[in-house]
Amino acid sequence: MKRMRRAERPENRAWSRALAVVAIVLLVGACAQTQSFLTSEDLAQKPANPRVLIMPADVELSELTAAGLQEPNAAWTSTGRSNVDAALDSLLAARNATVVRYDESGGAGSEAETQLLKLHSAVGGTILLHKYFPALALPTKKDKFDWSLGQEATALREPYGADYALFIYLRDSFASDSRKALIVVGALLGVGVQGGTQVGFASLVDLRTGEVIWFNRLVSSAGDLREPELARGATENLLDELPL
C-alpha cells in the first residue's frame, strides 16, 4: 500500500517559503537587517499607559547539517528563549507601557491560544513573503499594510485586561563542523554555501480588533541567541520602532 505523506501545516508552508527568500537575501551579503511596517493609523488614539500582553516567545535554535537541514537543539532552544525573555523584560521596562506576561500554566482557553500562536506564525510568514519582496506583493495589499489575526485574538483582551499583544518569532541556526568544512570548500571553488542564519519577526496586535498594527522583520547572518548580550541585541533590533 502506498503511504500517504502527512500534510504540511499551513504555518510551516508559509514560513518555509519565507525562509527560502530570506536565504537569497543573506547570500547577497546581508549582515543584519530590520524593516518595520505600521498601519495607516498613527496610533494617536492609543491609551496613555497601554497594557501590553507579552505572548510566549516562539524561539527555536538548530544546527545546520552538511546537507543544509536544520536539526533543532532542545538545550540551545531553552537557553535562547530564556535570554530573549530576559531581554524583553529589560527593554520593555523602559517604555511607557504596563507589561503583563501570558500565563503558560494552562487553562480552559490554552488550546485556543496555542492555535493563535500558530496562526501568528502563518500570518507572519505570509507578511514576509508578500510585503517585503515587491515581486511577490499581493495586488490588494500592495500599497497598504492590512493584516489581521482575526477575532480569535480579541479573546485575550478580557482575561488580561490588555490593549495590545506582542508576539515574537525567532529562529537561529549554527553551522555544524561538516557544514563549516563545506563552506570552506565552496569558497575555494567560488561557490557560496550558506552558513547559520538568524531570522524572525515581531507583531503588535490590537486586541480590540485582532489587527496587526506594527510588524518588524529581522534578518542576520551573525548573532547568537545562546549568549545573553547577543540575544539582547537581536531582541532590541526586533523591537526597533515599536510604537509604544
Q: What is the pLDDT of residue 45?
A: 59
Q: What is the pLDDT of residue 139?
A: 85
Domain residue extents for the chain: 10-40+49-238
Identify the bridge partners of residue 173 per DSSP, sorted by sequence position: 62
Where the chain has pLDDT below 70, the residues are 1-34, 40-47, 106-110
Q: Which three cell numbers stand for residue 45?
A: 488614539
- C-alpha to C-alpha distance for 117 and 40, rounded to whole angstroms: 25
What pTM, to 2 d.p., does this model score?
Answer: 0.79
Interacting residues of 1 by C-beta distance below 8 A, sequence separation 6+: none
Residues comprising the chain, all counted: 244
Cell 524583553, residue located: 88
Q: What is the pLDDT of residue 160?
A: 92
Q: Which three cell numbers stand for residue 158?
A: 478580557
- C-alpha to C-alpha distance for 216 and 127, rounded to whole angstroms: 10
Decide: residue 132, CB within 10 A, 0-12 exposed, 13-18 middle, 19+ buried. buried
Buried b / exposed e over 71-95, threshold 16 CB at 10 Å, is eebeebbebbbbbbbebbeeebeee
pLDDT tens, 46-65?
Answer: 667 788 999 999 999 999 88
